[in-house]
Amino acid sequence: MGHPQGFSFSSAGAGQNRGRFASSGKRIEWLVRGVEMIKQFALAVVVLSSCVLLAQKEKEVTAPTSAELAAVTARGRMLEEYDVAAASATDAMVALKPDTSAAPYFIARKTDKAWEVVFGRLDQKGDKFVIVYRASQGAIPKEFTAKKVDPPVEDRGFYRAASKAIETASRDFGRPSRAYNSYVLPAESGQFYVYLLPAQTAEGVFPLGGDVRYTIAADGTVVAKRQMHKTIIENKNPLKPGQTLAGRHTHDLGNGPEDSDVFHVLNRTPSLPEYVGTPDKRVYEIETDGSIKLIQ
């Protein structure tokens, strides 16, 4: 089993760089399966392209149905919740002065009660995920309490499978030339969705594009690979309440909004809707709550 590459998370404080996994002004090195933060770069583009990879099994050929749009909204909302949980849990971990060599990976999970984020590692055989730290959500989304798990707990269920899914997706994605975040969400039939999205690395810049969603089977194999957008828009956010009504971008190939489009709207500040144009001449509006409607 190969070793993952490094992944750093940091923030400048409450309310700043909201989309980044945070650590209260300090930098923590968390290894997240197979994705490396190397350096920040800016790529200004006019059109956000969406493309289909070779052997992609989720190719869209028609306009999405209402049910499919609702599913996009639901997944996008879960991505935003995951992002907030990961950032807040990492913040809470700073006070513990954690041994990151003992817990190089973290995974967030929404339980029946709230979100929890565990920090740990796969054992040498890769058949157990060893939980060394755990952060639990409180009464509000950004309130997390972290503690050391002593003795560590060995998980052979969700966290082991989720970590293997991230590892598989990251290995296929390859080494990126800029900062990326990974997200893993439960899918149907015991499968996982693994998202690799460009990370926010500067205040007021909310990157969109260059992102992939994998569907990974319980045994860690790739079921489907969907490149949601090809090109990254990473301009300084010009949107201002009272001056701009909404953002807008165009998909070259995809016939509807993607999960990461919804995440982008929910994650971006100031909070504004987004119009998404598609090659079939339709225009969709993503509202600030993540809901999607066809307007043209």
Confidence of residue 25 (pLDDT cuts 50, 70, 90): very low
String of DSSP letters for 26-80? S-EE---TT-----------SS------TT-S----SPPPHHHHHHHHHHHHHHH
pLDDT reading at 222 higher than 50:
yes
Cα angle vertex 184, ends 182, 185, to 5°? Answer: 145
pLDDT reading at 52 higher than 70:
no
Confidence of residue 44 (pLDDT cuts 50, 70, 90): very low
Res 57: pLDDT: 43
Confidence of residue 239 (pLDDT cuts 50, 70, 90): low
Res 246: pLDDT: 86
pLDDT reading at 34 higher than 50:
no
Res 242: pLDDT: 65
Give me 154's structure tokens: 């060995």
User: Where is average pLDDT lowest: 10-19, 91-100, 159-168?
Assistant: 10-19
Question: Are 295 and 283 a contacting pair, CB within 8 Å?
Answer: yes
pLDDT reading at 20 higher than 50:
no
Res 49: pLDDT: 38
Mean pLDDT on 53-69: 68
Q: One-letter amino acid identity for 162?
A: A
Q: What three-state secondary structure class fits 192? A: strand
Confidence of residue 62 (pLDDT cuts 50, 70, 90): confident
pLDDT reading at 180 higher than 50:
yes
Q: What does the domain layout of the chain look like in residue ranges?
A: 8-294
CA distance 129 to 68: 34
Confidence of residue 234 (pLDDT cuts 50, 70, 90): confident
Mean pLDDT on 78-103: 96
Residue 32: is it exposed, middle or buried by C-beta count within 10 angstroms (0-12/13-18/19+)?
Answer: buried
Res 291: pLDDT: 98
Percent residues over pLDDT 70 in the chain:
76
Mean pLDDT on 199-208: 92
Q: What three-state secondary structure class fits 218? A: coil
* pTM over 0.85, yes/no: no
Closest by Cα among 12, 44, 71 to 262: 71
Question: Are 128 and 159 a contacting pair, CB within 8 Å?
Answer: no
